[in-house]
Amino acid sequence: MAGVQKPALVLASASPRRRDLLDQAGASFEILVSHVDETLVGDPAPVQAAESLARQKAQAVADSLPVDRTCWVLGADTVVALGPDGDSTLLGKPRDAAEAKAMLESLSGTRHRVITGVCVVSRPSGEVLVGSECTFVTMREITPDEVRSYVASGEWQDKAGGYAIQENADAFVDRLEGGGFDNVVGLPVSKVFEMLRHAGLAIGPIAP
């Protein structure tokens, strides 16, 4: 009896936000979590940091698959960068409520960048495509009471920069420039589909 055919796309992430974005775009995919250590080594530039972690995640899952599996593995990682290149503070996921509070206070009243790195690894060819998208986020001044309330809600957990624009933190954001809303959520869907098509997987509403 033949086994059930698995989806051609593998998402190397446990993020419910990335899963939801792919679902909403109509993609069929399997989820395999990479368990890559997201600790940044040294002082990488924001784009380098996001793309490097995305590649590590995709490659780790690709390497764990059977050698005869034909699929495309998608990895992604989002970082928040405060300040210009060469003098940026990178904000990943807060470790605790105190760090989430400090991140929100540092982002209050700023125009910062949210960068999502994406990587596609083709199996079994081993071809690797890496890219990223950047969105400039203008955040209004957040009052101390708002910071305390937001941190108490727990919404900051597992969110780069300590906030979720798709949830209640949208009230703190005045403007987005450059990349899209989905990029700030955690996955630039149009860019991902473009990369997958380039790698040979026909996917998305404008796939041939």
Catalytic center residues: 77
> What are the DSSP E strand ranges found in 33-157?
71-82, 89-91, 111-123, 128-139
Please tell me the distance from the alpha carbon of residue 187 to that of residue 168, in angstroms, as a whole number.
Answer: 19
- Per the structure block, which two tokens stand in for 104? 């929100």
Please tell me the distance from the alpha carbon of residue 189 to that of residue 204, in angstroms, as a whole number.
Answer: 9
Q: Are 78 and 115 in contact (CB under 8 A)?
A: yes
